[in-house]
Structure 1
Amino acid sequence: MMNSRQRVNMALNHQEPDRIPFDPGGTVLTSIHVNAYRNLRRYLGLPEKEVEVMDVFQQIAVVDEDVRQKLGCDCRNVAPRSSATFKIVVDEDSMPGYRFFYDEWGIGWRMPKDGGFYYDMFHHPFANSTSIDDIKNFPWPDPVDPVRFANLKESARHVAEDLGEPVILGGLAAGFVELAAWTRGFARFYPDLVTNLDWMTYLMDTIIDLKLAYWEVALPLVGDYADVVQEADDLAGQFGLLINPETYRKIIKPRHKKIMDFIKARTNAKIFFHSCGAIREIIPDMIEIGIDIINPVQVSAVGMESAALKRDFGKDITFWGGLVDTQGVFTT
């Protein structure tokens, strides 16, 4: 009988494993909200326990070993730590009705104390910036702080050798498009792509340099234990792309290619790319620049019918997901 690592790698190489690999909570991009997770534990007849949070922003749960065993989870995340100079500190008192914090990138996040499910952004550090000097002088996170990589190699070895599971290696942060939008604010990010392009591309390229510096250390450190490397950028909404295809291909795609080329020059691991929404129009572009895996496959979005995606792109790319029905499931 094959183990989880063999099973996942066969599927990623477009071979037929003994069964379809299953990932109910193996990574921060494929896990479950803490409220739903508590309900899942009750449904499975497992004892109540304090739920560990994997991602504070989205309130994503760490899936415990008893649930993993019960469901047969094949995947496991190996992620870097925060830098030595940063720790999330949630303020419960200073903003009436909310709990809030600032992340490592200076972005402010808040969640209603009553009825809140996740944190929304309320502060964008470059919202009022007019100069490239603001970007140059910003206190950026240190992507190569040794604390980030503490125990990373041993964790990867343990997952691969002792557990027989694939190593899904996490990145430094969200995608460069997302981080540019989050630090600038959406209301200014999209116009900047047209009217303030020099400033915006300088911001994007600064973020990319930080991401590449992280991969420069992480990939050789983990070495052949890495089976999958995670990157992301949400590029679409329910009905289509958030950026028109011409702008994507002129500004975004070459920068994504730079990241993918950098990663592929340093590892044989497959590149997992998370991008929500109706991305069908640019799936050929993603294949062209070296993306191996698309997640989450939001089947409720326009053009994202799973059978058609498999028919048209299945020989060139792996679909990791395919059950994301945001409007049908999340509202129940």
Structure 2
Amino acid sequence: MVQQWGRTLAGEPGGSVLVDVGTSTVSGVRGPGAPELAAKIGYVGHPVLQTLALDAADTAALGSHFARTGLLYEQPRVSDDDTFTDPFGVEWLWSQGAPAPLNHPLEDADPPAVARHPRPEWPRLVQPAPRTGGAARPLVVADAPCSGLIETCFQLRNSWQFMMDITDNWRVANALLDWALESVATGYERMLAALPSPPDVVLYGDDYGYQGGMFLSDEDFRTFVRPRLRTLFSRIRRQTAAAVCFHCCGAVASILPDLADLGVELVNLQYDAKGMELDRVRAQLPASMVLHGYTDLLALGHALAKDDRRSIAVLTDELVRSAPVVAAPVDSLATEEELFAVARAAHFVRALTDDDIERLRRLGPVREVLDRAAAAAAHEVPRLAGGTPSPEPAHQSSTERR
């Protein structure tokens, strides 16, 4: 597994495909959609999305080559009207399987008020990496400790107000971005310093667009956001040699070269947004950059359940053509049923041998190969134990001692 990871990061297209399920805010399941599992686990990896902090035994049962490490949050206290407040002071409403910001603490703030806004208190518990060694050990994902720069500004200010600030009130926009940069960077520094062993991947997530376009113009992204991303990743790199996976939703084709220029090793993009077709995405990224979660594993899981051979063929063809690649969900999953559908797809992908992948790459969909992998994925996904993620006290970091 570790050898295949090295080949994947080196951009070598050959070999089997690694699978990441249940380890992060991108590949995990949201607790409110899996209430029994949430009650057993007791911790979430993200204070707003409430993605469950699954342990290594459960992620392995789901078919993942990866396991989670990172901060552990207690599940938020949700009121009778389904609202809760996050560590940044934003009030949220949980509705239709997802959180929506309800009250923004800095919506009317001027720059001095932004600077005075209280910093979040970071959790004192971390989920350690599995204590297994050797080539068969799971690869380890350090989950994002919080939202990214733009999402943090949207949550604190109100998305429409912040976008107006970028155009009409750049002093407030800069104050918000500076506050977000320091808070987010500190979150990563404290998490990475607190982990008892180093991860293989660090996840960073931020959304720069919707399905049809960008939130900001390309020029505004390059003026306000890109320089701060460079600073953020520089601070992360000082803490770890792990690869960085950049998750970004939206139609961001026009800034793909900018994202690649940040030096990240993996990108997790919204495959169905405008202009984000595989050939166009691949043409704008370095050949060695790993696509994480580009092919929709949830759709593949549903296709396997229905024995929809056309969809299985199309999705598998896209997966092997997108190499180097890590198979993963496109985004966090709303329910336990979706998690098990993705697990079915994960077992299908894991059943594809090195030779199978090579045949599919050279010849396109091969029925014999697909049928054999589908048969391997047909078994019932085991019920998850819902083990507690063995929380450990966070080691005191130099940032925290200061």
Give 1:224 deviation, angstroms.
Answer: 6.8
In structure 1, the residue matched to 2:66 is 75
Listed as ranges, the matches of 1:228-247 within 5 Å are: 228-247=201-220
Q: Does 1:24 align with 2:21?
A: yes
Give 1:273 deviation, angstroms.
Answer: 0.8
Give 1:322 deviation, angstroms.
Answer: 0.9
Decide whether the 8 Å contact of 2:209 with 2:252 is kept in 1. yes
Q: Determine which of 156, 159, 164 is the counterpart of 1:191.
A: 164
How many residues align structurally? 302
Q: Does 1:100 align with 2:83?
A: yes
Instruction: State how far apart, in whole Å, the 2-side matches of 1:291 and 1:241 are.
Output: 20
Q: Does 1:309 align with 2:281?
A: yes
Instruction: State how far apart, in whole Å, the 2-side matches of 1:181 and 1:159 are.
Output: 40
Give 1:19 deviation, angstroms.
Answer: 1.1
Instruction: State how far apart, in whole Å, the 2-side matches of 1:312 and 1:29 are.
Output: 23
Give 1:326 deviation, angstroms.
Answer: 10
Decide whether the 8 Å contact of 1:224 with 1:268 is kept in 2. no
Q: Does 1:138 align with 2:114?
A: no
Q: Determine which of 167, 176, 181 is the counterpart of 1:203.
A: 176
Structure 1 pair 324/91, CA: closer, same or farther in 2 (3 Å)? same
Q: Does 1:14 align with 2:11?
A: yes
One-letter amino acid of the structure 2 residue matched with residue 299 of structure 1: Y
In structure 1, the residue matched to 2:79 is 91
Q: Does 1:319 align with 2:302?
A: no
Instruction: State how far apart, in whole Å, the 2-side matches of 1:74 and 1:9 are.
Output: 14
Aligned residue for 1:25, secondary structure, equals coil
Cα deviation, 1:117-139, whole Å, max 9, x if unaligned, reads 1221111001122x222123222
Instruction: State how far apart, in whole Å, the 2-side matches of 1:272 and 1:293 are.
Output: 4
| Further displaced range: 277-286 or 23-32 | 23-32
Structure 1 pair 138/276, CA: closer, same or farther in 2 (3 Å)? same
Q: Does 1:117 align with 2:97?
A: yes
Give 1:34 deviation, angstroms.
Answer: 5.5
RMSD: 3.4
In structure 1, the residue matched to 2:382 is none
Decide whether the 8 Å contact of 2:107 with 2:161 is kept in 1. yes
Give 1:70 deviation, angstroms.
Answer: 4.3
Instruction: State how far apart, in whole Å, the 1-side matches of 2:165 and 2:38 are.
Output: 47
Higher relative contact order (CA 8 A, sep 6+): 2
Listed as ranges, the matches of 1:162-173 within 5 Å are: 164-173=137-146
One-letter amino acid of the structure 2 residue matched with residue 194 of structure 1: T
Decide whether the 8 Å contact of 1:28 with 1:77 is kept in 2. no
Instruction: State how far apart, in whole Å, the 2-side matches of 1:14 and 1:171 are.
Output: 24
Instruction: State how far apart, in whole Å, the 2-side matches of 1:289 and 1:48 are.
Output: 37
Structure 2: runs of 5+ lacking an equivalent? 303-332, 339-402
Cα deviation, 1:299-322, whole Å, max 9, x if unaligned, reads 211111124323442514211011
Structure 1 pair 220/34, CA: closer, same or farther in 2 (3 Å)? closer
Aligned residue for 2:180, secondary structure, equals helix
One-letter amino acid of the structure 1 residue matched with residue 10 of structure 2: N
Instruction: State how far apart, in whole Å, the 2-side matches of 1:66 and 1:171 are.
Output: 21
Structure 1 pair 63/223, CA: closer, same or farther in 2 (3 Å)? closer
In structure 2, the residue matched to 1:44 is none
TM-score after normalising by structure 2: 0.65
Give 1:157 deviation, angstroms.
Answer: 6.0
Decide whether the 8 Å contact of 2:70 with 2:142 is kept in 1. yes
In structure 2, the residue matched to 1:43 is none
Instruction: State how far apart, in whole Å, the 1-side matches of 2:140 and 2:13 are.
Output: 20
Decide whether the 8 Å contact of 2:251 with 2:276 is kept in 1. yes
Decide whether the 8 Å contact of 2:47 with 2:87 is kept in 1. no
One-letter amino acid of the structure 1 residue matched with residue 91 of structure 2: G
TM-score after normalising by structure 1: 0.78
In structure 2, the residue matched to 1:95 is none
Give 1:13 deviation, angstroms.
Answer: 2.5
Structure 1 pair 142/62, CA: closer, same or farther in 2 (3 Å)? closer
Structure 1: runs of 5+ lacking an equivalent? 39-46, 93-97
Instruction: State how far apart, in whole Å, the 1-side matches of 2:187 and 2:57 are.
Output: 33
One-letter amino acid of the structure 2 residue matched with residue 89 of structure 1: R
Q: Does 1:257 align with 2:267?
A: no
One-letter amino acid of the structure 1 residue matched with residue 100 of structure 2: D
Cα deviation, 1:21-70, whole Å, max 9, x if unaligned, reads 111222221123558769xxxxxxxx999664735643544557676444
Structure 1 pair 71/171, CA: closer, same or farther in 2 (3 Å)? closer
Decide whether the 8 Å contact of 1:27 with 1:75 is kept in 2. no
Give 1:162 deviation, angstroms.
Answer: 10
In structure 2, the residue matched to 1:42 is none
Decide whether the 8 Å contact of 1:278 with 1:298 is kept in 2. yes
Give 1:105 deviation, angstroms.
Answer: 0.6
